[in-house]
Structures are given as C-alpha cells and as structure tokens.
Structure 1
Amino acid sequence: MIKIPFIVSARAGKLLGRENFSNPEGAIIELVKNSYDADAKSCLVVFDIVFKIEKDEDGIDKKILNNDLSNIYIIDNGEGMSKDVIENQWMKIGTGNKETEFISKDKRVKTGAKGIGRFALDRLGFKAEMWTVSNDNNGFNWKMDWKQFDNSDKSISEITADLSDNDINIAEFLKTNFNHIKINNLFNEVSFNTGTVLKISNLKDDWFEKDIAGVFKSLEALIPPKELNMSFEVNFQHLQKPKEFGKVETAFFNDYDYKLTAKYDAEKLSVDFVITRNEMDIDVIKKKFSELYKNTKAPYDLKTLENKVFKYSKSINELLELEVDENNNKLLKDLGSFDLTFYYLKYNVSLKEGYPFKSISQKERRNVLDKFGGVKIYRDSFRVRPYGDTDNDWLKLGARVAQSPAGAGQRIGDWRVRPEQTAGIITISRKNNPDLIDKSDRSALQENDSYEIFKNIIIKVVKEFEVDRSKILNVFFKHFKILNEKLRENEIQRRAEDLVNKIIEERKVVEEKLYGKKYNSVDLFQQKRDEEERKKYEEAFKDTFKAIDDEKIEKDNEEIVQIRGLASLGLIVSSFAHELKEIKNNFDDINDLENIYTDLVSNESKKKIEYNDGINIIKSLKLDTEKIIHWVDYSLTAVKKDKRKRGNLNFIKYFDSLSQEWKNVLKNRNIELVIKKDTKAKYLFRAFEMDMNTIFSNLISNSIDSLDMQIKPAILVKQHF
C-alpha cells in the first residue's frame, strides 16, 4: 500500500478567492485592512479610471472602460515586506501566521486570519504589481498574472509570480507617477520610508462614478470611529474627479440627545452603565417646570438632569432576567467582555407639545444619521459588515416599535426607539470574544449561542436607555395631560355657556313677542329660574360635547391602529426577505429534478402513463413556483423604503414596472393588461410610489373581480394627466 497526496488544481485556488470576495468593493476593503495589519499610519486608495466612447449595435455612443489606461492603486506606509515574508507568507495560500501572531509590532490586533487576502487582487483585475520596502531598506518588485489560475490542467504549485530586487524610494516613485496636488501634499506630510504599493490593472469591473462613490462610502463606515482613537487614516482619490473625494472622515457624534455607554465584564458578570442626557433645556425646566421635581429622587431629580451624566451597574442576570445557574454563567463568561456606545438623535421636534427640548438642526442630524447611523460592530477597530447598514436592522428595533407604539412618556418602559434615529459602536476582539466568529464568506457573524446571547445583551442595554427616557418624559406627559384636560374642560365649558346664553337670549326675544312685556332683570323669581335653567342646559351640553370629542379621539385611534398594523405587516415581510429570496433561488432545483427524472427513467418506461404523470407533477410544481416567485418579487418590491419617499415619479416607467408585477397573475387568469402610452411624452410628477401602487392595484383588482372569467377581456389603462 502506498500513500498518495491530494493535488489541488489552480482553478480551485482561484474559486476559493472568488468565494470570499463576491464584489469588488469587498476586495478593496480587504486590501485596506491589510495596510492596517502592516501597522500603516496612512493608506491611500487611488482610482485612475479612463473611459472611451464606442458605438453600440444601434449606432449610439456608449461609454466603456479603457482597460489599457485604467488602474487601481492601494498605497500604505506600513512595515513593508521582506523577501522571506513574500516567499513564505504572501505566496502561501491559507497561511496561518495571523492566527498565531495576531498582535502586530505596533500592538494592533490584526484583522485578517484566513491567509487568502491576496486573492482580493485577483477579484479586481487580471494583473497585479507590487513594490514594497521593509525596515531593512531592501526593496522588491512582485508581478502576478492571475489568468494562470484559469488553466485547469495546472496544479496550484505550478502557478508562479515574478520577484525581483528593486531599490526604490516610495515617495519619489509615487510623485513621479502621480501628477496630483492632493497626493503630492500627502507625501509631503506623511513619511513613506517603508511601505507597499499595489497596482491592479486589466480591471474586471467597469467602475462607473456611482461604483467608486460606493467604495468611498463603505470606507467611511469601515475606518475606526474617532471614539476609538486609532492612529490610522485613509485618503481616497479619483484622478479624473480630483475635487470629489479626499480624506475618509469617520463617525464622530458631538450633537445627540442621549449617549449611553455600557461595558460588559464577562468575569464579574456585570454591566457598567454611563448615561449622558442631552435632550432637555435645563434653563427652561428650572424656569417653568421646577415644581414638577419637588419630590423626585436621583437619578430622575433636577440636580442629576443638570449634571447630565450619571453612572450605575447591574448584574448580567438582572439585566437579562435570567436565572443564576451554571450553564448560563458559563455561556456568559465564554462570550467575553465587550463595550457598547449608543447614541439617540431625534430629527424632529414638535413645538406644539410644549416639552422643554433643546433646539436642533434637523438637516444636520439627518445628514449625520444617513452617513453614520445604525448600530455597527467593530472587531479590533474594523467594521464587521453588514451590521448597521441602512437596510440591516439586525436588532429588530423597527419590529419592536411596531409591537409597542406608545409615545415616549406615555407609559414608562413601553416606548421603543426607532432604528433610523440611532447610532452605535460595539467593540469586540478576536482575543476577548473568540466565539463571535465570521461566516466563511465574511458576510456576517456565525449565529451560534454566543451570538444570540450577545445580541440579547445589546437589546437589553438599549432598553435601559428607553426606560430612562420614558421616565424623564413621563413627568411632562402627566403634566401636559392634566393641563390639556383642564383646557379641554374649559373649552367645553365655554362652548356650553355660549350655546346656553344664545338659547336664553333667543327665548327672551320670543317671550317678549308672545307676551308683550320686557325681561325684568330685578325679578328674583325670574333670576332663579334662569340660573337653574342655565345650569341644566350647561351640564347637558357639556356631556354632549365631551361625548363627541371622545368619539372623535376613539375614531382617530382606530385609524392609527390600522396604519400601524399595515406598517407591522411591511416589517414582517422585510424580516423574512432573506427566506423569501431563498425560495426564489430554489427554483432551479425543480429544473434539475426534471432532468434527473428524465435521465433515470428508461426509454421503455417513458412510453407508459406513469412517466407522463411524473412529468405533469413536475410541471405543476414549476407553475406553482412561478406564482410564488411572482408574489415574492411583488412583496419585496412593495415594502422597499424608496417607495415610501416622495419624489419625481416617471409614470411611463412606472406603468411598465406595474405591468411586469401583474404579468404572471393576469396570465394565469387569462387576462391581458394593455397600457397605451405616448413614448415621446414625459409624465413626471411628485408622488409617493407606494400610493400609486395602492391606487392602481385596487383598480386592477376591482376590474378582475367584475370581469366574466369565461372570456378573454382586456384591462385598458390610459394615461391622462
């Protein structure tokens, strides 16, 4: 018996890299992370993207990438690479040096661990070149043609790169290659005695302006926030658009209503809280509402409000409302310690409510939240995607609002914060939190027991803020409730008195006409009768006005409940978006089933009725799946956020989209949807697409219900504006 080794094909190695970098944006982020791991203080990302104009098949000018002239550069002033590192680590796929040596010389915890980061170069372009200078002042030039990996006949050991000595000065080298003021200024400010230059050419993506802007936005979210005090900055330049980009700014919140920091100590099994209240105008409170705080105790007294900051601690079992037992304690300790900084920034203040809120700049807050909002996770100072992305409400804060829609001060503990008004920074590390592990494709954290308890702790921490804010505002809610009730009673009293006075005055006029005598204001009997009559009328009218008001309030509340119910339904659909998309993706499996079934059945059996029965069952499955896919697409499209925003709606394109959404449903009912339009006309109006969907979907549904399904009718939708 002999032992034989496995041989890995070159193509398999390439697929490994592609699996981990499904999009070019992620590949650039990985290379920037490599700069951080190399102890770089500065990293420069440069896009040199040149387009050319060619005519398409219809003779129309089309802008396409000029691959001969376009390049991407990643430049850093890190420690560089020696020849030994290039040969034994950089060229070794799956190297584990970052797992065993995960602390850098500059005491940074390295972000990489799988040893496949260099395949990010392959994801971006077919060719890559590197210049690197290490601390020993030796420089090297490395060149790689990634097309070699496409040869399935080669094993991975037959793939080679070119390496040569190259004694270069990085700063001078780049000044020579970039005639760009901002880049030259950077080289004058930052030392590049050591470092690495990566050049990617023969690019695989078109890199239009919106794609490049997307990378810049991702880097803003990736780079460690200023609160973490990390000495690492990234500059971003587009040579063809020199004014559009620059230094990548990171999140920093100095204007907020609430700030809460929570430090979970896994050894002590406790959480230390620091809450900073910055929402209320203390001067206004002291001037107008000081009476409300006569009998209050810390931390809800006027003195604590004036100090803004207070601290307290809770055991983790108390926070989570868990029983103290050995299994729970082990899970909580194995999770490891971590920190959370949570911000609440409301961006609208209703002045009519009378609450003593500080004035805010709605526009600035919206801009900050659009850019840096969401509760994000940072491992060893670098962002873990997709947590905190615009469409990633991973803590289900929106669902919590739908389930408990109470106002902030209405009932203590029932108010829930909206996800779009939050920002957060959660810091974990490979060292302290080894059970919080990336998925193999780096798309998120593995959803194991540690992740679930981790998420639960964060939700409970957020609830601490929610309870605190609702207690603060409950004082004002009760005050204004009493005040408004008095105002309401006074208004009802006034309305009743006005009506009674009017009735009595009219009665006097009638009596004078009937009896021919004037009203005697001195007659005591008459006065007493008038007073009793007045009270009787007033009480009756007050009860009537109050009942009318109560009925109106109840009706308004019913409408609010219906609206919230619809919002909840949208959240439910959004929550199951991933699962619904999985259903769509499984459609190809039915086609595979049909092919497998046909291959397995012999030619003789195919003549039998049973074979045709099997084929009919598969066809029925395919038809049902097509219906499911249609409704999945329709449901996911219907709840998109952009459809709930008012904007310029192109009705020509809208009706084309509407036709596609209803296509399968109408086809199954043997109905044809005909849309007549003037393609030369431009129908642009400011509207909510969600409202248009409601209107036209109802019209189509009503038409379907009213038609005789035995004939083939046509629904005619004309555009008259």
Structure 2
Amino acid sequence: MARIPFNVSAKTARLIGRENVSNLEGALIELIKNTYDADAKKCVVYYESSTDRLFIIDNGIGMNKDVIINNWMTIGNSTKKESVFTKSGRVNTGEKGIGRFALDRISEKCTMLTVSKDERFEWLVNWENFDSSEMITDTYAELNDISENIPEFLSDLGNEFLCDMLKSDFTGTGTCFVLENLRDQWNEVVIERVKSSLQKLLPPMENNVFELFFFLQGTKTKDARILPDLLNEYDYKLHFEVDDFGECTIQIHRNEFFFGAQFEKIMKKADFSDEDREYFNDKLIIKEGSIYDFLPGVEEKINIGPFSGDIYFYKLVLQSDNQEKYYYKNFVTKRTNFKELSGIKIYRDDFLVRPYGIYGTTGYDWLDLSTRKAESPAAVSHKSGSWRVQANQICGQIRISRLNDNLPDKSSREGIVETKEFKLFRELVVNFIEKLEEDRQYVIRKLDQLYKSTAKGEQALKIAKEELNKYKKEEGEKERNNKDNEADSEKKQSYENFHKAISYQEERIQDLQEEMGLLRTLATTGIVVNTYIHEIKALTTQLNVGVKEAYACLEEDNDIISAKEELKKLRVLKEKFNSWFKVTIDAVEMDKRKRKKENIGNIIQNSISKWKSVQNNKIDYVYVENEEIDIRCFPFDFETIISNLVTNSSTIFKNHKVEKPTIKIEIGRKDDKFYIKYSDNGPGLCEAFKREPQKILKHGVTDRRNANGEVVGTGMGLWIVDSIIQNYKGYIDLRKNIEKENGFFMDLFFEGREN
C-alpha cells in the first residue's frame, strides 16, 4: 500500500489572506492585535501619501530567526498555541497562525524589519508570487541580516513628529512593516473610515498599557493618539458580570432624574419606597442570580461565561413637556455623534470583535433590539405594555476572553461562531437590558401617575363634572318650584351642550375599550390556534384522506358500503372541528361583544365544556362555586381569561407528560371583590419566574422553547389576562407560586363594571 502526501497550492495563501479578510479595516486590526501579543506598549499606523506607503510599527519583543522560520513562515503554526499568556501576562488575542496573511489584503509587497533581543532581520515578500507558483513550497521570501534599528531603518519618513517618537520609544526591540503597492486607494473617505475603525478597536480603559497612534504626513503626535470615544453623560448605566459557574451580578445606575428641592414631596406623593430614595441618590440597584434565573425555560446544563459588560442608555430627544412631567436631567452637552458611538460592541482581550455594534454594518443591531421594539412599541409610560429600548439609544461594550472557549471566533475573524451557546449569550444580554427597561418604566409610570393626579386637565374634568351635577340638582329644585327665566334658559342650554360634550367623550372612551376587548379576544384566538396548530393540521389531513378514500370506493370499486363507512368517520372529524370552532370563533360572536349582566359561573362552565370536548376529556376539571357572581361585563372577556389559562396549562401538561392532569377553578367573593382562583397540577413556574412570578404578566415574557432551545412563545396570553382584570378594577395575586413547590396558582380579584 502506497502512502502519498498532501500538497498545498500556493493560492492557499490568497484564500486565507486576501480573500479571508474581507476588508482593509479587518486586515489592519489583525496586524495591530499581533503587536499587542508581542507585548508592545505602543503601536503606530502611518500612511505616507507622498510615497503611497503604509507603515505598521511596534515596540514589542520582535522575532528571532527561529521564530521567523518555524512560526512566521509556517501556515497555522503560532507561538501563541504554546501559551495562552504573553511574557508580560497579557492574554494572547490570536492562536490560529494565519493573521500575518492579512498583509496580503493590504498590499502587494511587504518589507519587515524585526529586532529581537539578540538579532535583527529584514524580511521581504511579494504576495503576487503566490499567484504564479503552483505549490506553496515553491514560493520564497527573502531573509537578510541587518544592523539598523527601527528609527535608523525608517529615517526617510516624511513626518518629523513620528521620527522623534521613534527615536524616543522605538530604539529597542520591535517590528515594523513597510507596505507598498497598496490594494486600496487611500483617499479622504478611506482614511476617515480607518480612523473611525481604530477608535472603536480598543475599549475604554483607565490604564495606558497599550497605546495606538494613527499618523498622516502632517499629523502631530498629540493628534495622532487614538482614544476611544467615551460617553460621559448617560441616563442609565447597566453593568453586569457572569462568572465561570454561571452566577450573574447586575448593577443598575439611575442617572436620568433630578427632583431638586421637591425630592421629599415627590417621593411621598408618588409612593416611592425607601430603597428608591437611595437609588435616586446614586446607590446602585443590584440583582443577583444564576444564568437559569435570567433564561426562562432553559433546563439543560450550559456554560457561556465568564464575561462582563457596561451598557449605557441615552435619550436622543428631550421634549420640554416630558422634562417637566418626569423631572429629566438636562444634560449640558448633547451627543451629536451618538450615531457612531451607539451600538453594543464585543471586545475579546481588549480588542474589538467585528462587526458587532459597528454602525452601518449588518452586525450593528446583533441583539435584534429593533425587532423587540417593533413587537412591543409601548411608550415608557404605558400602564401595562412593556417599553423596549431602541438600538440607536444605547451603547456599550461586552468583554470576553480567549480563555472563554465557549464563544470561539470564526476563522474569518468576522464575528463569533453561531453556536447554541452564542445564541443563549445573546439572549442573556438582552434579558440583562430588560432589567434596565423595567426599572426605567417603573419610575416613569409612578411619575406619570403623579402628574395625572395633579394635572390641570384632570382637575378641570373633575371640577366640570361636579359643576354639572350641581347644576342638575339646582334645575331639579327650580322645576319643583316652577321658577324659570330667560337667563336661566341660556344657562341651561350651555350646560346641556357641556353635558353632551362630556358624554360624547365618555362614549368614545367606552367604544375604544370595547374595541380593545375584541382585539384581546382575537389575539387569544390566534394564540390558541398557534398552540394547537399540529392537532388542527392532523384533523385536516385525516379529513382529506377520508374524502379521497370515500371517492376511491365509489369511483374505482363502486363500493357504496365502504364509502359510507369512510363518510361516517368524517362525521366524527366534523364534530372535532366544531369543538375547535366553539373554542375559537364562537368567542367573538356579536352577542358576546355587548356589555350586559352575566353570571360568571355560567361563562366559566360553558368554557370548560368546550375545552373538554376539544381535549377529548384528557384533562380533569374541578369547578367550585362558593358564591354566585352576577356582574355587568363583556362575556368574551372571561372566556378569553379561561382560554389563555387553559392553553398554558395544556402546553405544560403535554411538554412535561403530567399524569392525571387536573385544572381547578374556584369562584366566590372576598370583601369588596369577586375572585377566580385558578390552579393546575403541573410542575409549576420555572426557576427564572419562581422568585418573581409577577414577571409572567409582562408583555413578551415566556419560557416556551423549541428543541433547539430557541424562544417560541408569544408572551401575550397572561399579559392579556392581566389587562382584562385591570379593566375590571382588579389585580392578580401569584404569591402561592413562591410558596408551593409544584403546580401553578393564579388568584384573580375584580369588580363588576359600572357601565
């Protein structure tokens, strides 16, 4: 048996260089990362327009002959594989041994001078030779001994400020590249793009362990230093850390509000807590828990840490009426360049991972915040909707390390491999952001309620109604005493017009509320159909097959008896379809969209009967009526409540294969409110909701996932239930879920409608 070796085409160099690194900025970043790994304290990028040459210079440790031959000249062989850390203790940013081929993306020719502790070499290569040679072993670079140091080698540079810096800081070890026959035309647009990219390359740092400079021919040293663009003023700051064991810590800083001398008055009138007082005075809000507390529905063991990050929220527009209403701080400076600064960037060992958070790229909104906003467009003051931040309102950075091998880089250096861990990492960051959103909405809802209670419009409406009632009373007395005159007649006409205007507005509000109720019912119908779509499709398939079988019996065999048997089976399917129609379509019948006095017990028992039929009596229902409830209501409101709760329980029973699934519904009265107590014998809330069960009432919150671990639930069902109960001046109590180990419990308290 013959053994034959693999050969590598010379064009491989182009594949992993020019074609693997997609753009100029990406190539520069790869080479700058190499200077960092060489323990350089300073790195210079210099474009000389008079000669159309590009220089990359560092004062790192340089390379000796052995490293050049065995590592630099060997594809895929990197000294960084031997140790994760550099000699100075930095974490190496690279390890694949192909980053040097980024030189091919920048220019056709390259000259390198490298000065190590004991040796100095000049290395020259023409990347075009790789196109003309067949095998990579037929392609050569030149390696020459040299006596010059970096300042001497670059003595002809056209920037005197750079020459002075080289003489001061680059006389020892280091490496420089002279790149000629550049592949890009370095015009003003390209230069500005490169500078902008370099500004994002390094995260905001308090130390100066690595300094980056970008010189042009006339640039002074002080102007060449690349400094990250920092956001010094912000409305909210979110800091988070996730350790190796999946333990998470979140810190939220409220910086948006200023109450001044009215602080005590507002704290009291808006009913803020004692803790809130401290949070408004720069105390950090701290939340802790495991990854599973922040990823509802995830049960299998996962590891995506360690990483940390800082995210800033910043209002782009400050409206004067909102400033008065919500006591916003009026920052002295407004960010004119926030667009470029916005986006959440990822840094691995202090270097940018493209394209995440880079404005104008496909990776700018890598967290899909715009989609979240479109799905939940509620204003921050909305009483029940969930406010979502927009992608262009936040900026920040997430820091990960090469030591975190759960989130590996792509070989193309353009992003992180889209593994299951990365998807959960992305979801986790979004859920951290949600904590910021929740706190901001909590504050503004309270301030909005305070404003409405004291607003002139609300007071005027209250006074107007009081005056109208007073007038009606006076008119009644006059009619009894037969007193009337012309002036009273004009006054009477004015008050009647006034009464009509108020009545008209109240009718409009009532119509809108009725419309909202109908929309909630239609949404619930959609949820039910979506949840049971497989069962409905199965019925449709069976119906289709049955019709074909009956047709075949008649057409091909003239077998009337068999055809009748097939049609009898279809009658059973028809009854099943009717059951589905009763649960879904019947809910929006015209009669149920009228507010009238109804017996809630009858509505619930009718709903149970429909669901039993749909579920083929596979679920036991226990109904207890401690006291009859007769109130004015929309029947579809309470059918909607039952449908959403039963749909959730049915899904849980199915997913967890619950034996003898049971749903219990109890109704009655407690003090001044009626109640519906709903419970099931499923496994109960997941860990993420166990400590704070009220979360499940928020729009978009769900723990339903598919086999790939992706969120598939709508997160609308229980939010709809909560919205309905609020319309009946009620509330939902979920505290039993904290106390009970198994089962789901929801107590709904409500009043009857007045009109």
Instruction: Indicate the TM-score class for this superposition, using the shorter chain for normalisation.
Output: 0.5 to 0.7
1:151 to 132, 135, 140: 132
Deviation, 1:172, is 4.2
The alpha carbon displacement at 1:79 in A equals: 0.8
Tell me what 1:564 maps to: none
Query: Of 243, 264, 281, which aligns to 2:258?
Result: 281
Aligned to 1:126: 108
1:311-365 deviation per Cα after TM superposition (whole angstroms, max 9, x unaligned) = 2312322222236x4xx22x23xx2221121111112211213221110246x42
Q: Answer yes or no: is the 8 Å Cα contact 1:224–1:230 preserved in 2.
A: no
> Does 1:217 pair with 2:196?
yes
Matches within 5 A, 1:71-110: 71-110=53-92
Which residue is equivalent to 2:395? 423
Distance 1:211 1:452, change over 3 A: same
Residue from 439, 450, 453 that aligns with 1:479:
450
Q: Deviations over 1:367-416 (max 9, x none)?
A: 2x223211111111111111101142111111111111112132367110
**In the alignment, structure 1 residue 302 sits paired with structure 2 residue 277:** yes
Counterparts in 2 of 1:12 and 1:312: CA distance versus 1, 3 Å: closer
**Matches of residues 176-325 of structure 1 in structure 2 within 5 Å?**
176-187=155-166, 190-226=169-205, 229=207, 231-239=209-217, 246-267=224-245, 269-286=246-263, 289-294=266-271, 296-298=273-275, 301-322=276-297, 325=299
Which residue in 1 is equivalent to 2:369?
397
Partner of 1:635: none
Q: Does structure 2 conserve the Cα–Cα contact (< 8 Å) formed by 1:282 and 1:306? A: no
**Residues 1:165 and 2:177 are matched in the alignment:** no
| Structure 1 residue aligned with 2:569 | none
The CA RMSD measured in Å over matched residues stands at: 3.6
Cα distance in 2 for partners of 1:89, 1:449 equals 33
In structure 1, what is the equivalent of residue 20 of structure 2?
20
Which residue is equivalent to 2:433?
A: 462
TM-score, normalised to structure 2's length?
0.61
Pick from 343, 348, 352 the counterpart of residue 379 of structure 1: 348
Partner SS for 1:306: coil
Once the 2 structures are TM-superposed, how far is the Cα of residue 310 of structure 1 from its aligned partner?
Answer: 3.0
- Give the match for residue 544 of structure 1: 501
For residues 76 and 414 of structure 2, the distance between their equivalents in structure 1, rounded to whole angstroms, comes to 19
Counterpart AA for 2:349: D
Deviations, residues 178-225 of structure 1 (Å, cap 9, x unaligned): 242431453366354111110001222222210111111111111232
Aligned letter for 2:198?
Answer: L
Does the C-alpha gap of structure 1 residues 495 and 124 become closer, same or farther in structure 2, counting only changes over 3 Å? same
Gaps of 5+ in 1: 51-68, 502-523, 559-721
CA distance in 2, matches of 1:550, 1:219: 61
By how many angstroms is 1:293 displaced? 5.0
Structure showing the higher helix proportion among its residues: 1
Q: 1:312 to 1:9 in 2, by over 3 A?
A: closer
Cα deviation for residue 482 of structure 1 reads: 2.5
Contact 2:270-2:447 at 8 Å conserved across structures: no
Structure 2 letter corresponding to 1:395: L
- Alpha carbons 1:38, 1:80 under 8 Å: kept: yes
1:8 aligns with 2:2: no
Identical pairs, percent: 36
Alpha-carbon separation, structure 2, partners of 1:237 and 1:320: 47
Equivalent position amino acid for 1:409 in 2 = S
For residues 685-714 of structure 1, give each alpha carbon's deviation from its aligned partner in whole angstroms, at most 9, with x where no partner exists.
xxxxxxxxxxxxxxxxxxxxxxxxxxxxxx
Q: In 1, are the aligned partners of 2:253 and 2:279 still within 8 Å (CA)?
A: no
Conservation of the 8 A alpha-carbon contact between 1:285 and 1:356? no
Tell me the CA shift for residue 49 of structure 1.
2.3
Q: CA deviation at 1:240?
A: 5.9
Contact 2:254/2:279 (<8 A) preserved:
no
Post-superposition Cα deviations, 1:473-498, rounded to whole Å, max 9, x if no partner, equal 111011122334x5245169679989
**Does structure 2 conserve the Cα–Cα contact (< 8 Å) formed by 1:436 and 1:445?**
yes
- Alpha-carbon distance between aligned partners in 2 of 1:160 and 1:285, rounded to the nearest angstrom: 77
| TM-score, normalised with respect to structure 1 | 0.64
1:557-596 aligned within 5 A: none
Unpaired runs of 5+ residues, structure 2, are: 472-480, 516-755
| Whole-angstrom distance in 1 between the partners of 2:286 and 2:85 | 33
| Distance verdict in 2 for CA 1:542–1:337, change over 3 Å | farther
2:339 alignment counterpart: 370
Conserved? CA contact 2:111–2:123, under 8 Å: yes
**Letter of the 1:380 counterpart:** D
1:407 corresponds, among 360, 379, 382, to 379
* CA–CA separation in structure 2 for the residues paired with 1:419 and 1:26: 24
Matched residues, number: 506
Residue 20 of structure 1 aligns to a residue in which SS?
Answer: coil
Which of the residues 305, 308, 311 maps onto 1:339?
A: 308
Looking at structure 2, the residues matched to 105 and 36 of structure 1 have their Cα atoms a distance apart, in angstroms, of 12
Match of 1:236, as an amino acid?
F
In 1: Cα distance, 2:511 partner to 2:46 partner: 61
Indicate conservation of the 8 Å contact 2:270/2:449, yes or no.
no
Question: Retained in 2: the 8 A contact 1:342–1:423?
Answer: yes
Distance 2:296 2:160 in 1: 59
Q: Secondary structure at the match of 1:311?
A: strand
Indicate how the Cα distance of structure 1 residues 529 and 469 shifts in structure 2: closer, same or farther if over 3 A, else same.
same
Cα offset, 1:440, TM superposition: 2.9
The match for 2:555 is none
Q: Which amino acid aligns with 2:256?
A: E
Counterpart residue identity of residue 85, structure 2: I
Deviation readout 1:448-483 (Å, 9 max, x if unpaired): 111111111101100011001111111101112233
Q: Give, in whole Å, the separation in 1 of the partners of 2:244 and 2:491.
A: 73
Contact 2:159 2:218 in 1 (8 A): no
Q: Distance in 2 between matches of 1:548 and 1:244?
A: 65
Q: Aligned-pair distance for 1:105?
A: 0.8
TM-superposition CA deviations, 1:517-543 (whole Å, max 9, x none): xxxxxxx97579977984785265144
CA 1:145–1:452 in structure 2 vs 1: closer, same or farther (change >3 Å)? same
Contact 1:292–1:475, Cα closer than 8 Å, also in 2 = no
In 1, the alpha carbon distance for the partners of 2:466 and 2:250 equals 54
Q: Does the 8 Å CA contact 1:222/1:382 hold for their aligned counterparts?
A: yes
Q: Secondary structure at the match of 1:127?
A: strand
Contact residue 412 and residue 467 of structure 1 kept, 8 A: no
Contact 1:129–1:198 (8 Å) recurs in 2:
yes
